[in-house]
Amino acid sequence: MILLEFLHRTFLGNTVESFCWFFGILLLGLVFKKLLSKLFALCVFRFLKKYSEGVGYNKLFLLLKKPFEILIVLISIYLAFDRLHFPDEWNILTVEHFGLRLILSKLFQIVIVSSITWILLRIVDFFGVVYMHRAVQTETKSDDQLVPFVKDAIKVFITIFSFFFILGTIFDLNIASLIAGLGIGGLAVALAAKESLENLFGSFTIFLDKPFTIGDLIRVGNVEGNVEKIGFRSTRIRTAEKSYVTVPNKKMVDTELDNLSMRMQRRAKFNVGLTYETKAEQFKNIIQEIKTSLENHPSVIKTDMQVILHDFDASAINILVCYFVDTMDYDFYLNIREEINYKIMKIVEKNGSSFAYPTTSVWMNKKEVQN
């Protein structure tokens, strides 16, 4: 009886029992949010299991853990506050009238819809991982770049739909009339989104024209690297310095783009500068031996090769060496080039010459020195 009397005592317009339910529901939501999020993620995974071959439950749980926990906390807050009511003395208006209660109600609905939208976006991410796993196993690279593009497109559609759902359902706006009545405002929005639309059309151009695919080594402007992702608005490139560069798709289709992966060979071109003390006969022997060395190398293209006495520099006589290596592997190319450079050093040393470096010779007249 004493306990019942205590539970029925009233504070701020609510009984002690109502406050106990309030704190109990909040505590349960905070304590069991992780467990409940695991259960929800497991239910979703069982529903999607037949579509998710090659990708396990852990990946889905990592994607859904945070949004599910937030949704559980929000539901707990709603159920907890539903056990309470504002004291009549506060004169707070009902939900039907504009006031604090209506604002809180609208905000809560917006947050709930946003959380559900977040969960849907994460599920789309999970399908993106699944289909990317399948795309990697195929020989063509077209599906590798199509999967991220379609994933981003679906996410944009879900986000826009969620935004209009909030306007139409929560704020009771007529969406059709709103879109039809945009008029000049719509034109202003279109002009403001000009860059985004250009990038969008650029992405369609990339998919249709296929100037490059994921994994290709490209050079666009001052950026050179491997394409890692072709997105809805931009292309991501991993440079040789391992930095991650984002290039708008508009620039990818408007700027001169060199797809280095489409080359059949790699070219090496440089000058070998020898001292002016080197005799003409020595030059002939060095040039001939370098040619012979290149011709005998199994990885050098025999038809596209030049070794000539090129020009007379301020401090050196230059031999132009130009050849192509039959490979697309950059590391292999560097190894071949290093090997050939060592051979050139030995040839120069063998013929009694030496490499030049910037020097200045001053000649003085003997008579002028005596005076």
For the segment 324-355, what is each residue's pLDDT rounded down to a tens digit? 998 877 788 899 999 999 999 999 999 999 99
pLDDT over 70 at 177, yes or no: no
pLDDT over 90 at 211, yes or no: no
Type of residue found at 211: P
* pLDDT value of position 203: 80
Contact 253, 263 (CB under 8 A): no
Share above pLDDT 70 across residues of the chain, in percent, rounded to a whole number: 81
Are both 283 and 149 inside the same structural domain?
A: no
Are both 150 and 32 inside the same structural domain?
A: yes
Among 161, 181, 201, identify where a domain stops: 181
Residue 133 lies in a domain: yes
- Domains in the chain, number: 3
Are both 61 and 162 inside the same structural domain?
A: yes
* pLDDT value of position 1: 58
* pLDDT value of position 178: 60
Mean pLDDT for 223-241 is 86
Residue 199 C-alpha from the chain's centroid? 15
Residue 101 lies in a domain: yes
Q: Output the 3-class SS for the chain.
A: CHHHHHHCCEECCEEHHHHHHHHHHHHHHHHHHHHHHHHHHHHHHHHHHHHCCCCCHHHHHHHHHHHHHHHHHHHHHHHHHHCCCCCHHHCCCCCCCCCHHHHHHHHHHHHHHHHHHHHHHHHHHHHHHHHHHHHHCCCCCHHHHHHHHHHHHHHHHHHHHHHHHHHHHHCCCCHHHHHHCCCHHHHHHHHHCHHHHHHHHHHHHHHHHCCCCCCCEEEECCEEEEEEEECCCEEEEEECCCCEEEEEHHHHHHCCEEEHHHCCCEEEEEEEEECCCCCHHHHHHHHHHHHHHHHHCCCEEEEEEEEEEEEECCCCEEEEEEEEECCCCHHHHHHHHHHHHHHHHHHHHHCCCCECCCCCCCCCCHHHHHC
Q: What is the mean pLDDT of the chain?
A: 81
* pLDDT value of position 337: 93
Q: Grade residue 279 by pLDDT with cuts at 50, 70 and 90.
A: very high
* pLDDT value of position 320: 95
pLDDT over 60 at 183, yes or no: no
Are both 77 and 174 inside the same structural domain?
A: yes
pLDDT over 80 at 15, yes or no: no
Round to whole Å and give the CA distance between 21 and 191: 53
Residue 114 lies in a domain: yes
Are both 340 and 300 inside the same structural domain?
A: yes
Residue 199 lies in a domain: no
- Residue range(s) defining the domain that contains residue 333: 266-350
Residue 341 lies in a domain: yes
Looking up tokens 């040039």, which residue turns up? 287
Are both 122 and 47 inside the same structural domain?
A: yes
pLDDT over 70 at 58, yes or no: yes
Q: At what angle do helices 100-136 and 16-48 cross, to 10 degrees?
A: 20
Mean pLDDT for 25-35 is 84
pLDDT over 70 at 166, yes or no: yes
* pLDDT value of position 287: 94
Mean pLDDT for 91-119 is 76
Mean pLDDT for 167-171 is 80
Better-predicted residue by pLDDT, 135 or 334 = 334
Which two structure tokens, joined as six digits, stand for 312?
Answer: 């007379």
pLDDT over 70 at 141, yes or no: no
Residue 186 lies in a domain: no
Mean pLDDT for 273-289 is 93
pLDDT over 70 at 115, yes or no: yes
Question: Which of 35-39, 222-226, 291-295 is predicted least confidently?
Answer: 35-39
Share above pLDDT 90 across residues of the chain, in percent, rounded to a whole number: 19
pLDDT over 80 at 154, yes or no: yes
Mean pLDDT for 36-47 is 81
Are both 234 and 327 inside the same structural domain?
A: no
* pLDDT value of position 317: 93
* pLDDT value of position 282: 93
Are both 249 and 281 inside the same structural domain?
A: no
Which two structure tokens, joined as six digits, stand for 239?
Answer: 């440079």
Are both 30 and 85 inside the same structural domain?
A: yes
> What are the residues whose beta carbons fall under 8 Å from the beta carbon of 121, sequence distance 6 or more?
155, 158, 159
Report the range out of 16-20, 200-204, 295-299 with the highest average pLDDT: 295-299
Residue 196 lies in a domain: no
Are both 18 and 144 inside the same structural domain?
A: yes
